[in-house]
Structure 1
């Protein structure tokens, strides 16, 4: 299968490239003039803006990608030695703006304006800066396929003012916020506009609706009048202080108020290469994970939230596959949900040359009880080839330190990621090997995929092979580890995965439906000698309405050759190892999310292994715009496995988000989970008293969900301040 993917790429790559569409940069260009003064960011149109012309004629992108936008936007740009200035005039035909809340980075759910910039102009990575019509900022790192990292923060300035038929956005983006080569005078750029009152999302350049809103392959051209300035401010320091107190009631241990200093630094090695350093980092302000109901046999993935691991994270998180990743940063400093102190960390990320990106990471953890001190390292190099393709090399290392034991794990690999210039065809080929002390053979991971994306259909195929001894200690490979409930042990079992997914999209020219069509999917797993292990098949139909509501239904079929006795429920005896076949029906409805009151539900009914399952997952949401958003989620599963256990599983989550202003927030999250027997309260107050400088007060309380006996309780106070040098 791997050889077939490789042969197909070699034979068809020239054909696909010659079919690529003409780049938007030939048709859409905006000039940016240099000024020798600064502009006060107050949302007012100062006379300095009259020296340049506005670009307009925004086009529809969603829900329709045909014609000029009903609500037009005009954009002007200027720059000096410190800032890129952007002035946008957004016309509207309705007085009431839709604002979900005032929190940072919540861009697409509210009326807003944004700019997408590709300073390298190679369609591989870029930056997005957006602001909603109430002035809340959002920024994100962008990858070649339109992937976003909203956890990235940057220091920039903006202001919004409102008028009868339009609103004004004024932005100042510091050059030191961006990663760029000053000698490269050709930048890719696009402007975006959310007009939710008219249910329209428009862009400056035109591209098909089936592509991501932030796709780097369809930018226009930013034309510089004069030389681009070099970055002058090259160092940012973020000192912080944290104090925590609390009690572990199970262990009967109390923690008195302690004061923990930490320091983060960002150093611009070059204008396109950044070094991040951290000493004694503290992540107590990070919001708790959303709990989930797990009815599978394997561990679930939880996203990284810690700020140190996030910038340019696509160099690290984009490796391997979902569920077969050679690097997963949550392996560093976390063990079985417990924090392991990180003594220091360093990351070097950015562009070495116009086409070569580097990602380098090293972190050292402390010894805690039986957990030995570890050093973690990662190096990845990504070379752009062709138009939107790349070749990468990866090395991951975990080494136990301060001990005589030779305990290590290393993974090396390479990837070829391909995309035509218009993004219609993409795919990849990946190969990895792991090395551990005393373990040899069957230690490889091989994978290939191909994706065809058009207005009318999408087709995706994938093949994976994971050997018994492919051990990625700093990665995420849950399916490799099979738990034998009878012997209370974990067994590594190699596997192959064959995947296919296809859709047919019908897009009516008018009417209440944006698109609809059938979806099919099939996934097959095999083990040694391609012996059958598991099959999942799905056939369904999706309907997306013009008001952003959605309905779909599906029939799902499963056949599983259970290799080991498994205990899904709290039963006296595990489900025996044999072949099971079962199915379920799923109905999914989501209402218009723009409304003050929104709701949705997913109903599941069918068989489950040797029994049956009924599930209902619902949510209710109400907004007191824009100050308060309340959301109630309930996930209920009734499972009956005859003599192997019957259980009703409830997961209830209640979330309130209070926005006192654009800089003061209070979020409270309650989670009641009968599967993990836990009731959690997490309340977080945040005051952004200066740009990227915050005061956090976080309260966490955990109880047993059946008895409501307290497990632990903690309160943390953290303050940090961003300094530029």
Structure 2
């Protein structure tokens, strides 16, 4: 197959870009860490004996707005440890008069919207995976798992303690991270380390070991060295049990059924097999505390993507869910148990050694007799082998199997099929300095429902420098490729997607950078006949105060491959094979994050299907009573005019939100959504009290209404209590 030959050629090109021997970029930046014999009090006061002896990391480098000098804002960091904890203190001096800038006291804040300090561990010295901890200037904690050399998984949530104290000329962050919280290889006395500071008053981001401005400061390719005076201590047995109890009630007013009362118990367990390999178990899991999805006005021809939000599936999710591309995901955990109860599950994930990483997950759902759904088992195996300096080869196997279910014949619907399997292999490129990145993959599916075009192949290669961005991507998805536990909204196509962009950096100007981005997305069917394209030119402008202005124009062609209602409301459909041409213009502005009042707005106008037109107005406006209350109003208006039976249709989507963070451990959110397209009003309120580290009490109330007369469709109330036992 010529597509496989293309994949082989692309993979060879990716390999050639990575064979150059790489010494660590920031190898000369070293910070010694010595064991302390005196207790360290986590109080934000730098008077412990450990801090009188510890080395200091200072003289940070500016990353933004430009990476050509030392930072203007002074930061000093010290580290120490004992048999149980790693200690850190950071003194963050003010550069200008004025209070700090933060969104709220909520955990895992948005980095770019808060004055904050973060630090990054690479405890395997592999420059691909690690851990991050930090806080904003009001003391809200941040922690996450680092994967693929510089991407953050903020769903990773563990027990550690910190304190922030504000002074007139500085704020101080002090933290103690238990060795049991992180994973690391025994005997290694050199870890990758870097520190990052964001100061919105000075419009400056900085790091201890220098990082080029086009990369995030979390990039593990640019860490310095944390040099231990002795190997870090062994963590010993590390077992945690996290049970929950739940009570609640719900009522469906549409169906007129009696009130349903809930009383559930369940538990998760975390068992450290080694210091770098963890086993997670769950029995009768419940995810009622998870925030509701943000609704969208759906005008797309294909299935929309909504991210996973359930905690059990999020931890170490990268090794399972990052296989493939955004629209070619052979595994998508949201396919498991969203509308079917989960009985139990297990996940083994982590490092086997410096070069090998494993992810093994098995989940089983309950049967649903009223829907003729059998018990189903979902098994996933993922392996990664590091190659060269920062790249890896990955293997994935996904199996969905119905248990004790033998229909007379293979049904059409995926929910009733006896099995579905996907096998995949991919190569991920990350060059030593992260300038070259890319991927090449091949997938094959297996299903009792026929077809022989079950292969998918794809590859991409990117070059990113301070000024220049170049990218090439192509995809082939066979018509019969079926990944039922994945997210592949479209099959039977070839796609080509080249991009090229350039940035200019004017001196002594409110504009930090500006420049064009050219992109083409071109689709054909499997025989090579054109079916879709979109050519676009975007002009990006970034201001020194971190405001953003973007504008683009595009030219689009679509040949419908199936009937499509351009309003997605159940009206008439445009016929298969009809061809549609239209042009679109778009402009967007995002205000500077420093202000108490922030806003973002965009306008899109252009043609639409069947020689129609579409106007879209989107806005988000927020005001914060720092740091306790944040109020946001988001809205989208679509005015669609399509000749024929559709005529003029308009859709409002409005979403007010209130976030209250009375302390670092007490959060309340009220989120409403009015969706005119689906004729639904949703109200979701969520109270969370973190009464102990990693232990929570939740109260969640949900209402759904019909917009006419605000008549209730259904409502539910849940109270849930979790507790983290360390055994």
C-alpha separation in 1, matches of 2:717 and 2:72? 50
Question: Which of 308, 311, 314 is 2:312 aligned to?
Answer: 308
Would the aligned equivalents of 1:534 and 1:560 in 2 still touch at CA under 8 Å?
yes
Task: Tell me the CA shift for residue 180 of structure 1.
Answer: 0.8
C-alpha separation in 1, matches of 2:485 and 2:16? 37
Would the aligned equivalents of 1:2 and 1:447 in 2 still touch at CA under 8 Å?
no
Task: Tell me the CA shift for residue 424 of structure 1.
Answer: 0.9
Question: Which of 163, 180, 183 is 1:179 aligned to?
Answer: 183
Question: Which of 446, 450, 454 is 1:435 aligned to?
Answer: 446
C-alpha separation in 2, matches of 1:233 and 1:35? 23
Task: Tell me the CA shift for residue 259 of structure 1.
Answer: 1.6
C-alpha separation in 2, matches of 1:90 and 1:460? 38
Q: What corresponds to 2:554 in structure 1?
A: 556
C-alpha separation in 1, matches of 2:163 and 2:520? 49
Question: Which of 565, 568, 575 is 2:566 aligned to?
Answer: 568
Task: Tell me the CA shift for residue 162 of structure 1.
Answer: 2.1
C-alpha separation in 1, matches of 2:472 and 2:709? 48
C-alpha separation in 1, matches of 2:542 and 2:704? 40
Q: Does 1:249 align with 2:248?
A: no
C-alpha separation in 2, matches of 1:705 and 1:6? 55
Pairwise mapping of residues 59-208 of structure 1 onto structure 2 (< 5 A)?
Answer: 59-93=61-95, 94-108=97-111, 109-208=113-212
C-alpha separation in 2, matches of 1:11 and 1:151? 35
**Secondary structure in structure 2 of the residue aligned to 1:308:** helix
Would the aligned equivalents of 1:17 and 1:421 in 2 still touch at CA under 8 Å?
no
Q: What corresponds to 2:349 in structure 1?
A: 349
After superposition, the C-alpha distances for 1:548-601 in whole angstroms (9 at most, x for unaligned) are: 111111111110111222112246521223111011110111111220011121
Question: Which of 526, 529, 536 is 2:527 aligned to?
Answer: 529
Per the alignment, do residues 186 and 19 of structure 1 end up closer, same or farther by CA in structure 2, a change over 3 Å counting? closer
C-alpha separation in 2, matches of 1:74 and 1:11? 43
Task: Tell me the CA shift for residue 68 of structure 1.
Answer: 1.1
Would the aligned equivalents of 2:38 and 2:49 in 1 still touch at CA under 8 Å?
no
Q: What corresponds to 1:262 in structure 2?
A: 266
Per the alignment, do residues 255 and 352 of structure 1 end up closer, same or farther by CA in structure 2, a change over 3 Å counting? farther
C-alpha separation in 2, matches of 1:356 and 1:672? 48
Would the aligned equivalents of 1:575 and 1:644 in 2 still touch at CA under 8 Å?
no
Per the alignment, do residues 95 and 563 of structure 1 end up closer, same or farther by CA in structure 2, a change over 3 Å counting? closer
C-alpha separation in 1, matches of 2:554 and 2:575? 23
**Secondary structure in structure 1 of the residue aligned to 2:183:** coil
Q: Does 1:217 align with 2:221?
A: yes
After superposition, the C-alpha distances for 1:510-539 in whole angstroms (9 at most, x for unaligned) are: 321111100111111111311111001111
Q: What corresponds to 1:487 in structure 2?
A: none
Task: Tell me the CA shift for residue 275 of structure 1.
Answer: 0.4
C-alpha separation in 2, matches of 1:132 and 1:154? 18
Pairwise mapping of residues 321-470 of structure 1 onto structure 2 (< 5 A)?
Answer: 321-334=325-338, 339-368=339-368, 369-370=370-371, 371-405=373-407, 407-470=418-481
Per the alignment, do residues 12 and 722 of structure 1 end up closer, same or farther by CA in structure 2, a change over 3 Å counting? closer
Would the aligned equivalents of 1:114 and 1:131 in 2 still touch at CA under 8 Å?
yes
Tell me the TM-score normalized by structure 1.
0.95
C-alpha separation in 2, matches of 1:215 and 1:88? 20
5+ long unaligned stretches in structure 1: 481-493
Q: What corresponds to 2:606 in structure 1?
A: 606
Task: Tell me the CA shift for residue 330 of structure 1.
Answer: 0.4
Question: Which of 482, 490, 506 is 1:471 aligned to?
Answer: 482
Task: Tell me the CA shift for residue 41 of structure 1.
Answer: 1.0
Greater mean deviation of Cα atoms: 501-510 or 453-462: 501-510
After superposition, the C-alpha distances for 1:458-509 in whole angstroms (9 at most, x for unaligned) are: 11111111111111110011123xxxxxxxxxxxxx1111111221111224
Q: What corresponds to 1:490 in structure 2?
A: none
**Secondary structure in structure 2 of the residue aligned to 1:106:** coil
Question: Which of 697, 700, 703 is 2:699 aligned to?
Answer: 697
After superposition, the C-alpha distances for 1:411-447 in whole angstroms (9 at most, x for unaligned) are: 0110011121011111111001000124241011101
Task: Tell me the CA shift for residue 5 of structure 1.
Answer: 5.2
**Secondary structure in structure 1 of the residue aligned to 2:209:** coil
Q: What corresponds to 2:666 in structure 1?
A: 664
Equivalent residues, number: 707
Task: Tell me the CA shift for residue 256 of structure 1.
Answer: 4.1
Q: What corresponds to 1:626 in structure 2?
A: 627
Task: Tell me the CA shift for residue 356 of structure 1.
Answer: 0.2
Task: Tell me the CA shift for residue 233 of structure 1.
Answer: 4.3
After superposition, the C-alpha distances for 1:14-68 in whole angstroms (9 at most, x for unaligned) are: 5654386x52442111001012343121112212311222110111111221211
Greater mean deviation of Cα atoms: 280-289 or 703-712: 703-712
Would the aligned equivalents of 2:38 and 2:50 in 1 still touch at CA under 8 Å?
no
Question: Which of 284, 288, 291 is 1:284 aligned to?
Answer: 288
Greater mean deviation of Cα atoms: 575-584 or 306-315: 575-584
Would the aligned equivalents of 2:249 and 2:262 in 1 still touch at CA under 8 Å?
yes
C-alpha separation in 2, matches of 1:245 and 1:11? 58
